[in-house]
Structure 1
Amino acid sequence: MNDAHWHLVVNHFPIIGSMFGLGILIAGLVLKNNTVKNTGYILFVIAAIFAFASMATGDGSEELVEDMPNIGHQIVHEHEELAEKLAILLYATSFFSVLSIYTDVKKHKYAKAVSLITLLLALASTVIATFVGNSGGEIRHTEIRENVINAAPNMESITTDNDKEE
């Protein structure tokens, strides 16, 4: 397997992990349930690990696809820039997730503040993750790019043999 294949294997979890982690963390905060909150925090740590793996395989994947027809360097570069921002956000979210678990366990006076910081980082990570996922999809799925010209024929201008006979 080459880097492009490995990149496709690992790149979905930082996105999906962020989304699930955020939902679970919000549920844990609303329910005031530490077990549920900790599950969300652990998901962010796992998402950060997969973000690291995605970044490690991204350059090799870039080399394989950027010269393919209809791709080009610019669209890959935009995806790479967004992915770097997401990785940094996920590393920070992961750090604060571990800190949140620690402060919750130790019943530290700053536990709620650290949880709030983690929540805000998680929200930012999830938003950026959606942009990263979309930009990554646009690399090979040209049909979802904004500048795609609809190439479908105009159905009104097509005549059939039956239309000509009338």
Structure 2
Amino acid sequence: MNQAHVHLLLTHLPIVGSLLGVLALLAGFAFRSEPVKRTALGLFLFAALAAIPTFLTGEGAEEVVENLPGVQENLIGRHEDMASLFIWLISGLGLLSLATLAASFKSNSISKALYPVTLVVSLATMGVATQVGATGGQIRHTEIGGATVQADASQEGGVYGEEREERDED
């Protein structure tokens, strides 16, 4: 298993964790449920922790894919830029969530002030997370983002190494 494989295995955790955290926090506000809000904070902490190895394996993943046919360097650069912003935001969200969680057990007035701030930061983080996912997906998924793969299908065996069947239109 190489760094690209590890990166792909981990990459969904911070994004999905952030999304679930936002949904849980909104539900906590809607139902005025402290346990649900605390669950959201736990999800944000999980997402922040999962983002660390995801970010750290990104460079190794780049080394694996940058010379593959059809991979565009500008897409990797955009993904790196968004990932750098995301790691700062998700780290801040993780620290804010930890502070909010601690305050929720000690002081209701402080946690009441921190929860809305946490929601705003989580929404901003989620917005950037979607961009990280989208730009990462464009690197290898040519069906999104209009990227194209240049392949020579005229070689015997075609693109997938299979011989093409000629159809007679009699």
TM-score scaled by structure 1? Answer: 0.86
> Which runs of structure 2 are paired with 1:131-150 in the superposition (5 Å)?
131-146=131-146
Percent identity between the aligned chains? 36
Partner of 1:118: 118
1:36 aligns with 2:36: yes
Using the TM superposition, give the Cα deviation of residue 146 of structure 1 relative to its aligned residue in structure 2, in angstroms.
3.1
Partner of 1:19: 19
Partner of 1:153: none
Cα offsets for 1:12-64 (capped at 9, x unmatched): 01111111110001101121111101111011111011110111100000001
Q: Distance in 2 between matches of 1:121 and 1:93?
A: 6
> Which runs of structure 2 are paired with 1:141-160 in the superposition (5 Å)?
141-146=141-146
Which shifted more, 80-89 or 100-109? Answer: 100-109
Partner of 1:88: 88
Q: Distance in 2 between matches of 1:53 and 1:40?
A: 21
Cα offsets for 1:64-112 (capped at 9, x unmatched): 1011111132111110110111111111111111111111111243222
Q: Distance in 2 between matches of 1:134 and 1:61?
A: 16
Q: Distance in 1 between matches of 2:69 and 2:169?
A: 37
Structure 1 counterpart of 2:15, one-letter code:
I
Where has structure 1 moved over 4 Å in runs of 4 or more? none
Q: Distance in 1 between matches of 2:46 and 2:136?
A: 20
Note closer, same or farther for the CA distance 1:6–1:96 as it changes in structure 2 (3 Å cut): same
Greater share of residues in helix: 1
Using the TM superposition, give the Cα deviation of residue 161 of structure 1 relative to its aligned residue in structure 2, in angstroms.
5.0
Q: Distance in 2 between matches of 1:102 and 1:87?
A: 22
The runs of 5 or more residues in structure 2 that have no matched partner are 150-167
Structure 2 counterpart of 1:74, one-letter code:
N
- Structure 1 vs Structure 2 CA RMSD: 1.7
Partner of 2:157: none
